């Protein structure tokens, strides 16, 4: 009586842990929640004002399914100037969050029995969406010592392979792919006629490195779907606003999925997005500076306690090796029970994450210091 396809998909482990933490907090326990995938900052006021103004002006009706023209044009301009992608407004689909964009891409690109390549560890939703589409994930191991970069992975490609997902800066490791790695991926994609899905949601949360869009490489425009959104850069997770750009053939399919499922992103929310792109950008820099300070305090503290962790170059996650104390799941359970610190077991993101925990440092410096004190008591 139920869908076999959905039985292939598991509940999101990241959400499960954060639900337990939320329940404990409600019951009065002082839990430090390091499991969340969202900035703890509020959305900048100018963005809220723009959306509220739009709402009061009556921008409360259905929007065109692909997005309001002003926002599509502003996104296209951003993709041209910041990401060197050769796109116009008609190539931009505004989605209710990057996550919905990824769901639509997997549905639009994959058939039953197809294969999609993920670099292990990878954000949980990619595998779920690949399975929703009836396809299979091929996990390519990465090398922790090399910043979780994929090594040669040509052997994982076969005639069922349809696409490769690139996520830089990445969740859960905070790793950033450099030009050389991206070029290797691009070369393989071109040689084997594959699509590349480039999830660039953490593009602005990057420390002393340059973000590079794989879609700007020679020969990649026609095979790259670039996904991005407002959640992380502008602290707009609850607004549900993202976007993608794709080659025309698949773009049409994605539009079809969107129009028959969610219709469009919320109309007045899109005016908030327009202000995010066109208004002052100093809030983004201030947020990234704060994240960087927190990263440095957290990573130095972890290494002092003996939890080995390299400084990630992007996003707001630390991926710490806890193998000295058990596997990631055992350690995460112990931390929640004994220290009231919620982290996510690395295994949630793929087999390579078994010995790791993911710590989201989207939390104040005071709470980070308090968590380090609690961790020290457990691990000393």
Give the nearest distance from C-beta 166 to ligand PMP in angstroms. Answer: 11
Give the nearest distance from C-beta 123 to ligand PMP in angstroms. Answer: 4
* Residues 163-182 within binding reach of ligand PMP (CB under 6 A): 167, 171
Yes or no: say if 279 and 46 are a contact pair by the CB < 8 Å rule. yes
Yes or no: say if 175 and 147 are a contact pair by the CB < 8 Å rule. yes
Give the nearest distance from C-beta 299 to ligand PMP in angstroms. Answer: 19
* Residues 112-141 within binding reach of ligand PMP (CB under 6 A): 123
Residue 301 or 353 with smaller CB distance to ligand PMP: 353
Tell me which residue has its CB nearest to ligand PMP.
Answer: 97
Instruction: Please pick, from the candidates 98, 205, 274, 347, the single residue that binds ligand PMP as defined by CB under 6 A.
Output: 98
Helices and strands in the chain, H and E counts: 12, 13
Residue 33 or 305 with smaller CB distance to ligand PMP: 33
Angstrom CA distances, 106 to 115, 227, 253, stand at 11, 12, 11
Instruction: Please pick, from the candidates 12, 22, 237, 327, the single residue that binds ligand PMP as defined by CB under 6 A.
Output: 237
Whole-angstrom distance, CA of residue 323 vs CA of residue 357: 10
Strand order in the sheet with 356-360: 317-321, 356-360, 344-345
Whole-angstrom distance, CA of residue 227 vs CA of residue 92: 10
Please choose, out of 93-101, 143-151, 181-189, 207-215, the segment that lies near ligand PMP by the rule CB under 6 A. Answer: 93-101
Whole-angstrom distance, CA of residue 140 vs CA of residue 167: 14
Helix, strand, coil share (%) of the chain residues, nearest 5 = 50, 15, 35
Give the nearest distance from C-beta 348 to ligand PMP in angstroms. Answer: 12
Please choose, out of 22-30, 56-64, 92-100, 142-150, the segment that lies near ligand PMP by the rule CB under 6 A. Answer: 92-100
Q: Count the site residues for ligand PMP by CB under 6 A.
A: 13
Does residue 37 interact with ligand PMP by CB under 6 A? yes
The runs of H, that is alpha helices, within the chain are 4-7, 13-26, 45-56, 69-83, 98-109, 124-132, 179-191, 248-261, 267-278, 282-305, 328-334, 365-379
SS3 for 319?
A: strand
Please choose, out of 94-102, 139-147, 342-350, 361-369, the segment that lies near ligand PMP by the rule CB under 6 A. Answer: 94-102
Does residue 108 interact with ligand PMP by CB under 6 A? no
Does residue 99 interact with ligand PMP by CB under 6 A? yes
Give the nearest distance from C-beta 4 to ligand PMP in angstroms. Answer: 26
* Residues 239-258 within binding reach of ligand PMP (CB under 6 A): 242
Report strand pairing: 149-150 vs 32-33: unpaired
Please choose, out of 91-99, 148-156, 302-310, 361-369, the segment that lies near ligand PMP by the rule CB under 6 A. Answer: 91-99
Please choose, out of 18-26, 97-105, 109-117, 354-362, the segment that lies near ligand PMP by the rule CB under 6 A. Answer: 97-105
Produce one character per residue of 180-198: b if its CB has 16 or more CB atoms within 10 Å, e if not.
ebbbbbbebbbeeebbbbb
Q: Which residues bind ligand PMP (CB under 6 A)?
A: 37, 97-99, 123, 167, 171, 199, 201, 229, 231, 237, 242
């Amino acid at each position: 009586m139920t869908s076999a396809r959905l039985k292939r998909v598991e509940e999101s482990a990241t959400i499960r842990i954060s639900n337990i933490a939320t329940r404990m907090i409600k019951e009065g326990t002082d839990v430090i929640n390091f499991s969340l995938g969202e900035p703890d900052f509020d959305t900048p006021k100018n963005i809220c004002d723009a959306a509220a103004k739009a709402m009061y002006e009556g921008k409360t009706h259905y929007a065109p399914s692909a997005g309001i023209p002003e926002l599509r044009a502003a996104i296209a301009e951003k993709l041209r100037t910041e990401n060197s992608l050769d796109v116009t407004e008609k190539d931009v689909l505004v989605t209710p969050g990057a996550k919905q964009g990824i769901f639509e891409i997997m549905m639009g690109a994959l058939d039953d029995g197809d294969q999609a390549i993920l670099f292990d560890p990878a954000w949980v939703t990619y595998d779920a969406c690949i399975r929703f589409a009836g396809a299979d994930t091929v996990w390519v191991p990465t090398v922790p010592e090399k910043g979780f970069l994929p090594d040669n992975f040509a052997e994982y490609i076969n005639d069922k392979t349809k696409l490769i997902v690139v996520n830089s800066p990445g969740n859960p490791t905070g790793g950033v792919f450099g030009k050389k790695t991206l070029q290797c991926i691009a070369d393989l994609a071109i040689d084997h006629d594959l699509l590349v899905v480039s999830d660039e949601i953490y593009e602005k949360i990057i420390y002393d490195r340059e973000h590079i869009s794989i879609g700007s490489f020679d020969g990649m425009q026609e095979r790259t779907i670039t996904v991005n959104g407002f959640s992380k850069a502008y602290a707009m997770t609850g607004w549900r606003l993202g976007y993608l750009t794709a080659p025309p053939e698949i773009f049409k399919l994605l539009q079809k999925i969107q129009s028959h499922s969610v219709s469009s992103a919320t109309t007045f929310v899109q005016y908030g997005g327009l202000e995010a792109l066109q208004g002052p950008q100093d809030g983004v820099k201030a947020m990234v500076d704060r994240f960087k300070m927190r990263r440095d305090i957290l990573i130095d503290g972890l290494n002092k306690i003996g939890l080995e962790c390299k400084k990630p170059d992007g996003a707001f996650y630390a991926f710490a090796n806890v193998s000295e104390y058990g596997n990631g799941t055992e350690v995460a359970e112990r931390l929640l029970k004994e220290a009231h610190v919620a982290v996510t077991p690395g295994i949630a993101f793929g087999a390579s994450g078994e010995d790791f925990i993911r710590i989201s440092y989207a939390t104040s410096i005071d709470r980070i210091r308090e968590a380090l004190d609690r961790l020290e008591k457990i691990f000393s």
